Structure 1
Amino acid sequence: MEIRNETLSTDFILLGLFSGMKHTRLLVSVVLLIYTIAITGNTTLIFLIWVDPHLHTSMYFLLSQLSLIDLAFISSIVPKMIVNFFSGKKNISLVGCGTQIFFTLTLGIAECLLLTLMAYDRYVAICKPLKYSIIISPRVSQRMAIGSWVGGTLASLAHTAYAMHFPLCGPRELHNFFCEVKAILKLSCEDISAYEKGVVVTSIVVVLLPVSFILTSYILIFLQVLRINSHEGRRKALATCSSHLTVVIFYYGPAMLIYMRPGSSHTPILNQALFMFDTILTPMLNPIIYSLRNREVVDSMKKVMGKFSIQNRFARFNE
């Protein structure tokens, strides 16, 4: 019994999504629906890019990596939240909390890096189209993806190991629906000012520098688009960038508000709303944005659905 109590005392308590809200069940049901749409959308996009030879380009390879990150990102948070809600349990073990922090940080940072590299891909495609196949070769795009995953993993490993080593005081209640570094640090017994400075530096490297790079890329892209004489040429050039730019705004907007706001403006409700948008809504919206605003993806989907329809009719005819 003592061992069991000691084990439970090391667990964290996730207070859940907007704790105290009257219609929590409805909200969790909506989150479950969003999760289902996100899984379906990202899986479909990865499948289309894999089976359609017309989508075997560097741009779509990077897009498939974005969908893979989104799949893992939302899956590292929502299933545990859903299980806790319907089981009535709110605890998560120390190891489970550390694991969740590691994966969410890895995937979040990897997505930041990948979106930045995708902006460079669009810059080369529009500003240096004749050299695109040389500069952004399949090998280079693979290195971009690997660099994003490795960069996210290394940064996450350092922050997770350092954040989890602090001794904690008081009740281990986290005012969030998943384990997150800033929520853990609020429970620390020690002075964490030095570590908080490190978080600020990391935020600058992972958020501000990529945003600056993306903005510079798009300024150069728009200047190049203005030089295009034909209206159709301008439309096609902007169409290839609009989806990525929309995703960047949806992802970096909440991320900057979460990590770049002064501490005095942090409230549990606002933080949860921003985290929900970044970690749950964005992974659902990304494949929708790229599918609805990309003619090649739509054509590929129609082609694949047509093949499956013909095969089903042929199979029924043989029966």
Structure 2
Amino acid sequence: PVKTFSKNVVDQTLEKNVEFQGKSGLSPKIRRTANGETCEWCQAMAGTYEYPNVPKDVYRRHANCDCVVEYIDGGKHPGMKQNVWTKKWEDDEFITPQELVEKVKTKMAESKEKKDTAEQLKDIGFSSVDRKWLSQVDKELQTSSIAQLRELEDKFGVVQKGSIAVEVKKGRGGATTVQTQSSTTTILKFGRDSFSSKDTYLKLMRKDLSDGWCMSCGNDDETLCKYIITHEYGHIVQNSLIKDEMSVKMGTRADFARYYRNQIEDIARQIDPDYEPEKYTSGYIQDTKANNPGKYDYEFFAECFANSQLGEPNVLGQAMNQWLESRGYQ
């Protein structure tokens, strides 16, 4: 009959929703209740099932089946049930008051934790935070990034000087984009492919470090978790300095970026008379110089900055620290 067919369609949709919530870490339940005089099969299927232990047959119906299939939410409506046919939400009489209180407390705590990480970024000085930061960046990486940003901002104070937004982008690594047309906002971007999982992030960073793709730093988890965000903060420092220079001097962004690199390399030669860029720069910098020379001076600065702030700085990291001191940063 049409009625039975329609209910089957609804039940199939419910099945997909339950699987989605379950795989998302929630605990949805399905309750099937037999109505009136039912067949032995329906009586056997009656019961409450929690994902992933939900039998496929719980969603099935025979002709003229009047069983009630209810979805007990594990997400936005803790302690509520939904009739999958009428779509109405009701209190779930099978949940105890204490269970409901605990579920609500858990949801509130999770919401507060998410809100806090975004608010902490705003407290540091960021103008806005992409809502995807809360859901797509690993929580431990959120914590380590915020701690490092706060430490760097205490030393350099450049985030509070500008309008800098936090976003999440496709791909790996990080990025700092300067809007130069209708807006002066700088955007600090977190790559979803690496920042969504701490384990993935560390695996990628250790490979980059062993391959010489990034400049030397400590090999411990804490230091590696700070590397990309420190590199990107280096871009923010450079952008801030260039902006200040351009307000009082003639020149382009590229002119000042090249000027900074030359100054840092001059200091490096004083430290090591046999200085050659290839001795101290990363594979990433050398690749950028060969294949994307327009970005070379900017990436050189950011990599040297990261090296200067993490672990034992090499000659370029030492030169960067001296150069920063000459600019008034201690």
TM-score computed with the length of structure 1 as normaliser: 0.26
Higher strand share: 2
Bigger radius of gyration: 2
TM-score computed with the length of structure 2 as normaliser: 0.26
Query: Relative contact order (C-alpha < 8 Å, sep 6+): which is higher?
Result: 1
